Amino acid sequence: MHLNRPIYGVDEAGRGPLAGPVYAACVRLDARRVIEGLADSKQLSVRRRESLAEQIKRKAAAWAVASASVAEIDRLNILQASLLAMRRAIQQLVLSEDALVLIDGKHAPQLNSEVETIVKGDCLVAEISAASILAKTARDAEMIRLHQLYPVYGFDQHKGYPTRAHLDAIRLYGITDVHRHSFSPCRPGNQS
């Protein structure tokens, strides 16, 4: 497809949850160190995802993970915060002038490199699949950490998504500073 150019894949995790940061990752794979089984992170079991994340960190030519905070999500909106997290991940790596950055979805952050967006890229492009796995495992780890601070919300189970259990916990206990106050169920006055 893009012969002899360094390809970087980028994806995010955590646009839909009511709590926690949004994460993004950028990955450049090494063709000499094949990683079997790369796929959209949502299609993998937790164990498989974590195993692949370790392999990606060991075998990829380059990788980086970054996030945008709940405060940034509330200030910018979730799309802009996702793009910010992507830009932060990409900027951790030194990209050559001929690098091509492939981004999952329809939206891309402003970059100095050539960028291509690919809808369903996490299913179609190995580099984006790898990025989706790193972003998802990093975000899940953060939600498990937040569960230790706020155990009544069950972040370790639903990772902040609007499940019935999470919405019930919000009604019972209110919202925390790790909830996204700009999201409808977390807006002050919407918990009754």
Query: The whole model's pTM is what?
Result: 0.94
Q: Is residue 176 part of a domain?
A: no
Q: What is the pLDDT of residues 90-124, one digit of tens each?
A: 999 999 899 999 999 999 999 989 999 999 999 99
pLDDT for 3: 59
The dihedral sign for the CA sequence 150, 156, 162, 167: negative
The response to whether 12 counts as a known ligand-binding position is yes
Q: How is residue 179 annotated by DSSP?
A: B
Spell out the alpha helix ranges (H) of the chain. Answer: 46-59, 70-76, 78-91, 121-124, 126-149, 155-158, 164-173
Number of structural domains in the chain: 1
Q: Is residue 164 part of a domain?
A: no
* Domain region containing 144: 7-148
The response to whether 104 counts as a known ligand-binding position is yes
CA separation for the pair 173, 169 (Å, rounded): 6
Q: Is residue 169 part of a domain?
A: no
Looking at residue 91, which CATH number applies to its domain?
A: 3.30.420.10
The response to whether 50 counts as a known ligand-binding position is no
pLDDT for 47: 96
